[in-house]
Amino acid sequence: MTGKPAIPDDVKALSFEQALAELERIVDQLERGEAPLDQAIRIYERGEALKTHSEALLKAAEDRVEKIRLGRDGKPIGTEPLDPA
């Protein structure tokens, strides 16, 4: 068995902002402690899936970001990867 469970399709369809908003609602609900244990476990597991999905989306966005290189005069002269390998 692998370490992380599969991400449900409905979570995969969410944008980063949608996943983050739902994750914030879950954290709030869990912090209030109002859910019965079995429901708390289910929403925690959904929160884990949302967190994993959000991290993957954020990593993909970071991979696309480029750092602008500036010349001695302060003017842009090109770009390079944000985190060169």
Domain boundaries, the chain: 9-81
Residue 81's pLDDT is what?
Answer: 63
Long-range interactions of 22-29: CB distance < 8 A, separation 24+: 22/46, 22/50, 23/47, 23/50, 23/51, 23/54, 26/50
Residue 75's pLDDT is what?
Answer: 78
Instruction: Give mean pLDDT, residues 62-76.
Output: 74
Residue 1's pLDDT is what?
Answer: 44
The pTM assigned to this predicted structure is: 0.71
